[in-house]
């Protein structure tokens, strides 16, 4: 068997049969979620639906590992995976067969039975090992720290003190109530996120990856800095499908980074562009990353409202990256490559433009008030119908499309589900111990009640927690710990949660564990640390966008059309000015004082307010005057020669 797990000629009949069996398990999971998403059927009660979802995911992870280790004759490892499969199935089956008893019992009124505690511990161990394999040790360490905190709270100093809880009580919270493992994160994961991941998997299997890449090249490939701009557009499209910035880097970066290097961009710059652009994909409607779906439960708004809140920040995000790319191309004197054989927009749309229609279907059902899972179901059905109607090649191989989509989506869900499971358990400990309330007081004390200080503290915490952790996991922990603290300082609830999501996502390009930047650097052959620093420079405006919509709620769509339009316009001007300051070019190389003027103008324009906007425009006028004066001096000198 190959390293990737694909069968080779040495696979035994047993191994091949097991591989088929695991594929059938994945297909069964996809069919289970499709059927429960159909409005005419619906999901069973949570005490059945959620354990089934988690068991499917863990069995797929450990089952695949069992097949790989067995094929390599690593018997001890194979036995360990078999034990973990049992530890994943048995607790779930117990819950599903005792759903009525679990639902009707009074929490904490009487202790769990020893067998129930054993099942709880077994399932937690299986989840922690799954996290170690898929997410890394950071999330495992955080989870262990919270479990110890819940157990030994009476030994903690100061504001961290609480009465402490027994192993039985913690096991009950995690396993037998709706506050721990079976709380909002895993509910959202099973009910909403899986259907959107399955939809994305169907799109990719239907050729949407090639379509969106060709679409990006046809739109921007012939402009100045075309390959880099195409990378930005392609990453925005692909990020909607993958939901993972690192996976997006690997998918699109394999061809965009070499293309950028060929036209003259430095390897580190090319890698930085791809890392920043790929990170933005999970913040871009209509198909956002897993963390956006979690906001449905945390904030209590619909997914369509979340998309509306996110659309302007997403536009600002990619505009910021576009401006950096464009100005760098101008600074380097890069010219459009008109000789390249790039796809034409009309040809691209004629061949596969129908692949955009399922996204329209998705939007329609969301706007009509259907649940995200139902909207995902109808969009998948429409996609299959359109492929059968318009793509003769895919029609002949429809069984392969279905097989690929329905086997890959469950595997794509493993890391997300594990992160949500652990996030839910951590949130349960925070609720059980009252730590969330105390953290709000801590934020108020440290920040002195000053909003900017609290926001900076939240961003720092988000970046640290997000190191090596999925955005969804970091968001769950931060929302439970810090969300109420920000709202107590006057930040609107949706603004606080959008701020947390943005900050958690940006950890992917922030050293020392900048996963997206390091993945891009590996493709570009550049130094990982230099790539991370370039990514920070390229994303400097992006780091400021969360502060912009906290202080200017019009960027989230609040206010009149005039207020929103004016705030967006000044934000775009501010982002442009900051890009000029970072790149150091605007029609010519800028001197230090000119870059300082550009930076000052950016800060003034990004802060919402009439006075700051007018001052910013004045500074921009001074910058423009300085540049024009130097251009005339250069022109006179050239004419004199």
User: Do 48 and 151 sit in the same domain of this protein?
Assistant: yes
The answer to which of 137-151, 269-283, 373-387 has the lowest mean pLDDT is 269-283
Judge whether 61 and 89 are in contact, CB under 8 Å.
no
Centroid of chain to Cα 58: 21
How much is the pLDDT for 3? 40
**Whose CA is closest to 463, among 507, 509, 499?**
507
User: Do 102 and 43 sit in the same domain of this protein?
Assistant: yes
β-bridge partners, 117: none
Range from 19-33, 42-56, 289-303, 326-340 that averages highest in pLDDT: 19-33
Residue 468 lies in a domain: no
User: Do 227 and 147 sit in the same domain of this protein?
Assistant: no
Residue 146 lies in a domain: yes
Tokens for 580? 């000029």
How much is the pLDDT for 240? 65
| Residue 341 clears pLDDT 90, i.e. is over it | no
| Residue 570 clears pLDDT 60, i.e. is over it | yes
How much is the pLDDT for 303? 87
Residue recorded with tokens 């910013």: 616
Q: Which alpha helices (H) appear in 193-287, and where do they start and end? A: 194-205, 208-220, 226-242, 245-263, 267-280
**Whose CA is closest to 5, among 58, 55, 70?**
70
Q: Which domain holds residue 565?
A: 559-641
* Per-residue pLDDT tens over the stretch 117-173: 999 999 999 999 999 998 888 889 989 999 999 999 899 888 888 888 999 999 999
Residue 252 CB contacts under 8 Å (≥ 6 apart), including other chains: 213, 231, 234, 235, 238, 274, 278
How much is the pLDDT for 337? 64
How much is the pLDDT for 398? 87
* Per-residue pLDDT tens over the stretch 396-428: 888 899 999 999 999 989 988 998 999 899 989
Reading phi first (left if > 0) and then psi (alpha if -120 to 50, else beta), residue 96 is in alpha
Residue 109 backbone dihedrals phi, psi, to 5 degrees: -70, -35
User: Do 270 and 347 sit in the same domain of this protein?
Assistant: yes
Domain boundary among 114, 149, 175: 175
As a whole number of angstroms, the distance between CA 625 and CA 398 comes to 62
Residue 104 lies in a domain: yes
User: Do 219 and 116 sit in the same domain of this protein?
Assistant: no
* Per-residue pLDDT tens over the stretch 193-233: 899 889 989 998 998 888 888 888 888 877 877 778 887 88
As a whole number of angstroms, the distance between CA 477 and CA 474 comes to 5
Please tell me what DSSP assigns to residue 469.
Answer: S
Please tell me what DSSP assigns to residue 281.
Answer: G
Mean pLDDT to the nearest integer, 369-389: 92
Centroid of chain to Cα 431: 25
User: Do 160 and 34 sit in the same domain of this protein?
Assistant: yes
Checking 630-634 for CB contacts under 8 A at 24+ apart, the result is 630/588, 631/587, 631/588, 634/588
Residue 445 lies in a domain: no
As a whole number of angstroms, the distance between CA 153 and CA 167 comes to 12
Residue 120 lies in a domain: yes
Considering only residues 289 and 171, tell me which one the structure prediction assigns the higher pLDDT.
171
How much is the pLDDT for 374? 92
How much is the pLDDT for 5? 42
Residue 160 lies in a domain: yes
How much is the pLDDT for 1? 42
Residue 456 lies in a domain: no
Checking 633-636 for CB contacts under 8 A at 24+ apart, the result is 634/588
Judge whether 143 and 131 are in contact, CB under 8 Å.
yes
Confidence of residue 242 (pLDDT cuts 50, 70, 90): low
As a whole number of angstroms, the distance between CA 553 and CA 576 comes to 20
- HSE-up (13 A, CA, CB side) for residue 220: 18
As a whole number of angstroms, the distance between CA 200 and CA 192 comes to 13
- Distance spanning both ends of the chain, measured CA to CA: 71
User: Do 160 and 204 sit in the same domain of this protein?
Assistant: no
How much is the pLDDT for 138? 83
User: Cα angle vertex 285, ends 284, 290, to 5°?
Assistant: 75
User: Do 138 and 234 sit in the same domain of this protein?
Assistant: no
**Whose CA is closest to 514, among 228, 279, 337?**
279
Confidence of residue 96 (pLDDT cuts 50, 70, 90): very high
Domain boundary among 351, 386, 411: 411
As a whole number of angstroms, the distance between CA 74 and CA 577 comes to 59
Domain boundary among 151, 175, 199: 175
Judge whether 480 and 434 are in contact, CB under 8 Å.
no
Mean pLDDT to the nearest integer, 13-28: 94
Q: Note if the pTM is more than 0.95.
A: no
| Residue 253 clears pLDDT 70, i.e. is over it | yes
Q: Where are the beta strands (DSSP E) in 464-609?
A: none
The answer to which of 67-71, 238-242, 435-439, 586-590 has the lowest mean pLDDT is 238-242
Confidence of residue 26 (pLDDT cuts 50, 70, 90): very high
DSSP string, 37-100: HSTTT----HHHHHHHHHHHHHHHHHHHHHHHHHHTT-HHHHHHHHHHHHHHHHHHHHHHHTHH
How much is the pLDDT for 34? 94
The total number of structural domains in the chain stands at 3
User: Do 167 and 196 sit in the same domain of this protein?
Assistant: no
As a whole number of angstroms, the distance between CA 127 and CA 241 comes to 26
Rg of the chain (C-alpha set): 26
Average pLDDT, the chain: 87
User: Do 158 and 282 sit in the same domain of this protein?
Assistant: no
Tokens for 517? 């930047």
Confidence of residue 441 (pLDDT cuts 50, 70, 90): confident
User: Do 133 and 274 sit in the same domain of this protein?
Assistant: no
How much is the pLDDT for 620? 94
Distances (CA, A) of 530 to 517, 518, 535, 624: 9, 10, 9, 32
User: Do 565 and 595 sit in the same domain of this protein?
Assistant: yes
As a whole number of angstroms, the distance between CA 588 and CA 596 comes to 15
Residue 519 lies in a domain: no
Confidence of residue 263 (pLDDT cuts 50, 70, 90): confident
Judge whether 486 and 547 are in contact, CB under 8 Å.
no
Residue 265 backbone dihedrals phi, psi, to 5 degrees: -70, 145
């Amino acid at each position: 068997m190959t390293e990737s797990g694909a069968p080779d000629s040495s696979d035994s009949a047993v191994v091949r049969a097991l591989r088929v069996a695991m594929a059938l398990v994945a297909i069964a999971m996809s069919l289970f979620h499709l059927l429960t998403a159909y409005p005419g059927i619906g999901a069973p009660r949570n005490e059945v639906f959620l354990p089934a979802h988690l068991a499917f995911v863990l069995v797929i992870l450990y089952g695949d590992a069992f097949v790989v280790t067995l094929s390599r004759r690593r018997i001890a490892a194979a036995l360990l995976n078999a034990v973990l499969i049992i530890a994943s199935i048995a607790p779930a089956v117990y819950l599903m067969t005792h759903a009525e008893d679990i639902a009707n019992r009074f929490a904490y009124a009487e202790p769990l039975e020893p067998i129930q505690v054993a099942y709880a511990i077994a399932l937690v161990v299986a989840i922690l090992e799954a996290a170690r394999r898929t997410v890394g040790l950071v999330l495992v360490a955080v989870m262990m720290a919270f479990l110890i905190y819940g157990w030994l709270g009476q030994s903690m100093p100061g504001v961290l003190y609480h009465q402490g809880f027994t192993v039985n009580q913690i096991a009950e919270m995690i396993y037998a109530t709706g506050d721990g493992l079976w709380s909002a994160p895993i509910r959202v994961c099973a009910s909403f996120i899986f259907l959107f991941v399955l939809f994305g998997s169907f799109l990719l299997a239907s050729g949407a990856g090639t379509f969106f890449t060709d679409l990006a090249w046809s739109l921007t490939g012939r402009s100045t800095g075309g390959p880099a701009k195409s990378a930005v557009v392609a990453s925005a499209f692909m990020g909607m499908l993958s939901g993972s910035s690192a996976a997006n880097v690997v998918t699109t970066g394999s061809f965009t980074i070499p293309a950028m290097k060929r036209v003259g961009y430095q390897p580190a710059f090319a890698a930085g562009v791809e890392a920043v652009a790929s990170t933005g994909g999970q913040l871009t409607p209509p198909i956002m990353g897993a963390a956006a779906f979690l906001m449905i439960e945390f904030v209590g708004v619909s997914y369509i409202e979340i998309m509306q809140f996110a659309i302007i920040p997403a536009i600002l995000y990619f505009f910021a990256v576009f401006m950096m790319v464009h100005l760098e191309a101008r600074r380097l004197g890069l010219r459009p490559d008109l000789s390249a054989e790039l796809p034409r927009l009309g040809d691209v749309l004629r061949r596969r433009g129908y692949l955009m229609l399922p996204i329209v279907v998705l939007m329609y059902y969301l706007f009509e008030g259907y649940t995200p899972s139902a909207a995902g179901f109808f969009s998948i059905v429409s996609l299959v119908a359109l492929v059968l109607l318009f793509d003769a090649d895919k029609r002949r191989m429809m069984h392969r499309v279905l097989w690929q989509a329905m086997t890959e989506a469950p595997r794509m869900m493993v890391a997300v589900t594990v992160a949500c499971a652990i996030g839910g358990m951590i949130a349960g400990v925070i609720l059980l111990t009252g730590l969330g309330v105390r953290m709000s007081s801590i934020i108020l004390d440290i920040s002195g009640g000053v909003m900017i200080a609290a926001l900076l503290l939240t961003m720092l915490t988000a970046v640290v927690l997000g190191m090596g952790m999925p955005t969804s996991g970091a968001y769950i922990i931060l929302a439970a710990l810090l969300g109420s603290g920000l709202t107590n300082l006057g930040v609107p609830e949706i603004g606080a949660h959008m701020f947390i999501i943005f900050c958690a996502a940006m950890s992917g390009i922030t050293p020392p564990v900048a996963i997206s930047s390091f993945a891009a650097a590996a493709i570009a052959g550049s130094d990982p640390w230099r790539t991370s620093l370039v990514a920070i420079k390229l994303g400097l405006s992006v780091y400021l966008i969360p502060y912009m919509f906290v202080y200017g709620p019009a960027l989230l769509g609040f206010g009149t059309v005039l207020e929103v339009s004016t705030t967006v316009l000044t934000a775009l001007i501010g982002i442009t000015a900051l890009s000029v300051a970072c790149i150091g070019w605007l029609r010519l190389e800028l001197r230090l004082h000119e870059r300082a003027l550009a930076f000052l103008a950016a800060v003034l324009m990004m802060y919402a307010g009439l006075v700051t906007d007018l001052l910013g425009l004045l500074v921009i006028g001074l910058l423009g005057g300085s540049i024009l004066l130097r251009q005339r001096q250069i022109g006179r000198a050239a004419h004199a020669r």
